[in-house]
Amino acid sequence: MNDTPSTALIGTPAIRSILTGRFCSAAISTILMVVFSIRVIDLTDNVILVGVIVALRMVGSALGALVAPRLSRVLGLPRLLLNADLAAAVIVVIAALVPASGEVSALLAAGFVLGVTFGISNITMISVGPELVGKDQKHVWNGRVQTAQALAVVFSGLLTGLIYASGPVLWLLVISAIGFVITGFITSFHAPNLPDEPPTSAAGTLNSGITQAVAAAVPLIFVLLIVARAGEALGSGVHNVGFLLLSAEYDIQNQATLAGWLLAAWGVGKVVSGFAVPPILGRHFAENTAMTMVFMATNILTFCFFLAVFQVDTLLLYIVFAFLAGLFDAATEISYYSCMQVDSRSLRDRLLNISYAVERLALFSGILIAGWVLEIIPLVPASALIYGGTILLVLLSWVVLVLAIRSAAAKGEKGKFNDI
CATH architecture of 1-196: Up-down Bundle (1.20)
Q: Do the beta carbons of residue 114 and residue 91 sit within 8 Å?
A: yes
Using CA of residue 236, residue 240, residue 245, residue 247, what is the dihedral sign?
Answer: positive
Domain ranges of the chain: 1-196, 203-420
Which of 94-98, 274-278, 313-317, 318-322 ranks highest by mean pLDDT? 318-322
**Overall fold of domain 203-420:** Growth Hormone; Chain: A; (1.20.1250)
Q: Is 271 exposed, middle or buried (0-12, 13-18, 19+ CB in 10 A)?
A: buried
Which among 391, 389, 414 has a CA at the least distance from the CA of 403? Answer: 414
Q: Do the beta carbons of residue 151 and residue 275 sit within 8 Å?
A: no
Backbone angles phi, psi at 191, to 5 degrees: -75, 130
Average pLDDT over residues 94-101: 86
Confidence of residue 300 (pLDDT cuts 50, 70, 90): very high
- Does 217 have pLDDT greater than 70? no
Residue 206 DSSP label: E
Position 213 scores a pLDDT of: 37
Helix (H, G, I), strand (E, B) or coil at 211: strand
Over the stretch 154-198, which tens digit does the pLDDT of each residue have?
777 667 666 666 667 777 788 888 989 998 888 888 777 766 555
SS3 content of the chain, % helix, strand, coil (to 5): 85, 0, 15
CA distance 230 to 236: 10
Q: What percent of the chain has pLDDT over 70?
A: 83
Confidence of residue 409 (pLDDT cuts 50, 70, 90): low
CA distance 364 to 47: 16
Q: Which residue has the higher pLDDT, 27 or 196?
A: 27
Backbone angles phi, psi at 211, to 5 degrees: -70, 140
Which of 128-132, 213-217, 266-270, 322-326 ranks highest by mean pLDDT? 322-326
Task: Say yes or no: do domains 1-196 and 203-420 share a fold.
Answer: yes
